[in-house]
Chain A
Amino acid sequence: MAKLTIADLKKIKDEYRANQTLREGAFTVKVTVHMGTCGIAAGARGIMDTVMADLAASGRKDVVITTSGCAGLCSKEPMMTVERSGDSPVRYVALTPDKTHRIFAEHVMGGTAVKDFALVAGHETTY
């Protein structure tokens, strides 16, 4: 078993519990990095790394990160979708770490979608 020392884990547990009173318990933002074969080949893991690093730096506890499969727009990978509770999900395309930093700061943290990089905000059905 890898050496993740008991002291490390105890410190993490103590800090987590000390901050627990500040938590609301529910996630308010969900970030989905598209991790199909196309996404991975285009650099999705680097986008995931960027989101993880920004989340760690932010100290936010109400943001959940996950991955999904191919969304059928392989030529626009890497992509991610940001969903704030109460708002329409926004899908971002052709990402780079720099674009991802900006999306994290302005949309995940600030609540304003970054229109420059968005594919579509919500959708409508026409007949």
Chain B
Amino acid sequence: MEDISLHILDIAENALRAEARRIEIIVTREAGEDLLTVEVADDGKGMDAGTLSRIRDPFFTTKGKKTGLGIPFLAQAAEQAGGELSVLSAPGKGTRVTARFRLSHIDRPALGDLAGTVLTLIAGHPEVDILYEERDGEAVSRLDTVEIKRELEGVPISDPAVLQALRATLASEFILRTRDKS
């Protein structure tokens, strides 16, 4: 995976396969702590302890194929940047994936096109609610499709005109990427 935004998309796709109705993505930059934290939380079907114990094994998957590389890739990316991955999950309670990176670590992947990931999720799965939040010190930017859908009064959130407006909003109001390495 080239950057963090692609890891987020990959983990969110896991949430979709787990039948999530709402996915919350929160990216927190703490310059003072030299920490970058990425959380992806869903309300999907969750995993039992046996499944959870095996998710870091690249040859374990629940999807009828031979490999399951998404979580191992993200764990590797976090660990090589002085961080760690934690996954909390229980059947019926959803899953919360948290990846921590040392912000200044030379091997930390760039954030990448976070807006592109959020738009891909909204366009491909308009029926699922997405919260996207960026935090940097006191500054918080937040986009919640529940609120947008309410304002849209029945116009589909996946309508191209809506997606274009969302793209413009993500570009102007969400600025973590502009503070990141390229």
| Chain A residues engaging chain B, CB cutoff 8 angstroms | 1-4, 6, 8-9, 12-13, 15-17, 33, 35-38, 40-41, 45, 48-49, 52, 55-56, 61, 64-67, 69-70, 72
Contacts and interface: CB of A to CB of B under 8 A. Distances in A.
Interface SS majority for chain A: helix
A38 B10 CA distance: 9
Contacts of A66: 124-125
Contacts of B70: 37
21 contacts: A2-B143, A2-B170, A2-B174, A6-B151, A12-B152, A12-B161, A12-B165, A35-B120, A36-B13, A37-B10, A48-B120, A48-B124, A52-B123, A56-B161, A56-B163, A56-B164, A64-B158, A65-B124, A65-B158, A69-B13, A69-B17
B49 interface: no
Nearest to B5: A45
Give me the 7 closest cross-chain CB pairs, A-B, nearest first: A56-B160, A67-B124, A37-B70, A16-B155, A2-B143, A2-B173, A2-B169
Given A2-B170, A67-B124, A12 B162 contact: yes
A16 B143 CA distance: 22
B142, B161, B174 pick with most chain A CB within 10 angstroms: B161
A76 to B, nearest CB: 14
Given A3-B172, A55-B160, 20 more contacts: A1-B144, A2-B141, A2-B142, A4-B151, A6-B151, A16-B155, A16-B161, A33-B124, A35-B124, A36-B13, A40-B1, A40-B9, A48-B123, A49-B119, A52-B163, A56-B163, A66-B125, A67-B13, A69-B13, A69-B17
B139 to A, nearest CB: 13
B124, B147, B151, B169 pick with most chain A CB within 10 angstroms: B124
Interface of B: 1-2, 6, 9-10, 13, 16-17, 63-65, 69-70, 73, 113, 116-117, 119-120, 123-125, 141-144, 147-148, 151-153, 155, 158-166, 169-170, 172-174
